[in-house]
Amino acid sequence: MNQLIEINSSEDILSKYQNTPIALLLEYHNLKRPFTDYTKAELLVGMCMDHRKHLHIPENFSYIIRTGGANLRYSEFKVSYAISVGGIKHIALIGHNNCGMVNLVSKKGQFIDGLVNNGGWSKERAEEHFNNFAPMFEVGNAAEFVAMEAKRLRKKYPNIVVAPLFYNVDNNKMYMIEE
User: d(Cα 141, Cα 9) in Å, to the nearest integer?
Assistant: 27
Can you list the domains of the chain with their CATH numbers? 3-101+140-178 (3.40.1050.10), 103-138 (no CATH)
CB 177, CB 4: distance < 8 Å: yes
Residues in the annotated binding site for Zn(2+)? 96, 99
Q: Is the dihedral of CA 24, 28, 33, 39 positive or negative?
A: positive
Residues in the annotated binding site? 96, 99
CB 102, CB 139: distance < 8 Å: yes
User: d(Cα 177, Cα 179) in Å, to the nearest integer?
Assistant: 6
Is the pLDDT assigned to residue 169 strictly greater than 80?
yes
CB 45, CB 25: distance < 8 Å: yes
Is the pLDDT assigned to residue 147 strictly greater than 60?
yes
Percent of the chain, pLDDT > 70? Answer: 99
Q: What's the confidence (pLDDT) of residue 136?
A: 87
Q: What is the pLDDT of residues 26-85, one digit of tens each?
A: 999 999 999 999 999 999 999 999 888 889 999 999 999 999 899 999 899 999 999 999
Q: What's the confidence (pLDDT) of residue 140?
A: 86
Q: Give pTM, 2 decimals.
A: 0.93
